[in-house]
């Protein structure tokens, strides 16, 4: 550290810990980027079979947020931390911003770890690795505090990151409870049972990703939409060729259900799908006839 003409104390150069901080951020980037690309390309991460505990975590509803893999949000967090920790080498004032991001990232990792352990009841070693990186990075960053700068005193530095982390984790919990989006919440027993029955009975739901009414049809099943026997008719894009399955079944409008060899075009309510497929609703659960 050196004293400037105005009497302020400044660091002469990068702190020895800075390389560790930057390295941890890079490790987090590599890990989350791998998981993100695996999710986007429909591949299981290495040593993470579909029936393994890791696979259960990766396929759970907590594995996506706002339509993208949760690992992508982790990648953005680590990328921002890499930028801030690199700046910290020459600008100690960056510590406060880095602390904010690191505290939020560690808090979210604790929330997801608790969900994995107590709700999903499965552990994913990739998630544990990210959990470790996020929390070690936070601890090292706390040790790195530029104590010579009054604005970085604990009383001034901690309230904003801690408060922000509490708010973000609370919003995440409300999101995954289904408050903001029912599709992100827990599955309703009747809708889940009906979706499974439709799939097991040979019913087919034909649609396209760009069809608004197809998305409305899926939305009727909320968190159980992924269980529907859905067939994408334009996998190559809106202007691409129609899939063979849709051509063979003479699908001309979207969405179209085929139940018992009968075509049903347009949005079909859950109760009507139950009637058409021979599925009986009850007050507590749903069961096949």
Mean pLDDT of 90-95: 91
Q: Indicate the range of 52-56, 206-210, 254-258 predicted with least confidence.
A: 52-56
Which fold would CATH assign to domain 2-181? Answer: de novo design (two linked rop proteins) (1.20.1440)
Give the burial string for 277-286 (b: 16+ CB within 10 Å, else e).
Answer: bebeeeeeeb
**Which residues are 207's β-sheet partners?**
232
The number of angstroms, rounded, from the C-alpha of 85 to the middle of its chain's C-alpha atoms is 25
- From CA 258, how far away is CA 263, in angstroms rounded? 5
Asked if residue 258 has pLDDT above 80, the reply is yes
Q: Are 69 and 36 in contact (CB under 8 A)?
A: yes
- Stretch(es) of the chain classified as CATH 3.40.30.10: 189-288
Q: Is the omega angle on the peptide bond into residue 255 within 30 degrees of 0, that is, cis?
A: yes
- Stretch(es) of the chain classified as CATH 1.20.1440.130: 2-181
Q: Give the architecture-level CATH label for domain 189-288.
A: 3-Layer(aba) Sandwich (3.40)
DSSP 38-100: HHHTT-PPTT--TTSHHHHHHTSGGGEETTEEHHHHHHHHHHHHHHHHHHHTT-GGGHHHHHH
pLDDT per residue as tens digits for the range 39-70: 998 888 998 887 789 988 988 899 999 889 99
Q: Are 99 and 88 in contact (CB under 8 A)?
A: no
């Amino acid at each position: 550290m050196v004293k400037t003409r105005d009497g302020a104390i400044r660091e002469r150069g990068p702190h020895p810990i800075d390389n560790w901080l930057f390295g941890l951020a890079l490790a987090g980037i590599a890990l989350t980027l791998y998981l993100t690309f695996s999710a986007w390309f429909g591949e299981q991460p290495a040593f993470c079979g579909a029936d393994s505990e890791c696979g259960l975590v990766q396929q759970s509803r907590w594995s996506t947020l706002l339509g993208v893999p949760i690992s992508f949000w982790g990648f953005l967090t680590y990328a921002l931390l890499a930028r801030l920790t690199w700046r910290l080498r020459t600008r100690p004032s960056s510590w406060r911003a880095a602390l904010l991001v690191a505290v939020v990232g560690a808090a979210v990792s604790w929330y997801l770890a608790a969900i994995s352990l107590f709700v999903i009841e499965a552990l994913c070693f990739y998630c544990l690795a990210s959990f470790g990186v996020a929390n070690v990075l936070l601890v090292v960053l706390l040790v790195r505090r530029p104590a010579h700068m009054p604005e970085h005193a604990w009383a001034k530095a901690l309230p904003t990151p801690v408060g922000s982390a509490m708010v973000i984790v609370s919003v995440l919990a409300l999101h995954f409870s289904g408050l903001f989006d029912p599709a992100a919440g827990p599955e309703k027993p009747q809708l889940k049972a009906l979706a499974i029955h439709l799939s097991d009975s040979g019913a087919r739901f034909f649609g396209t990703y760009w069809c608004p009414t197809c998305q409305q049809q899926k939305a009727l099943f909320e968190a159980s939409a992924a269980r529907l026997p859905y067939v994408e008719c334009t996998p190559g894009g809106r202007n691409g060729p129609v899939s063979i399955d849709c051509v063979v079944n003479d699908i001309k409008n979207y969405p179209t259900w085929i139940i018992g060899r009968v075509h049903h075009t347009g949005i079909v309510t859950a109760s009507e799908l139950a009637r058409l497929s021979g599925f009986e609703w009850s007050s507590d659960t749903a069961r096949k006839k």
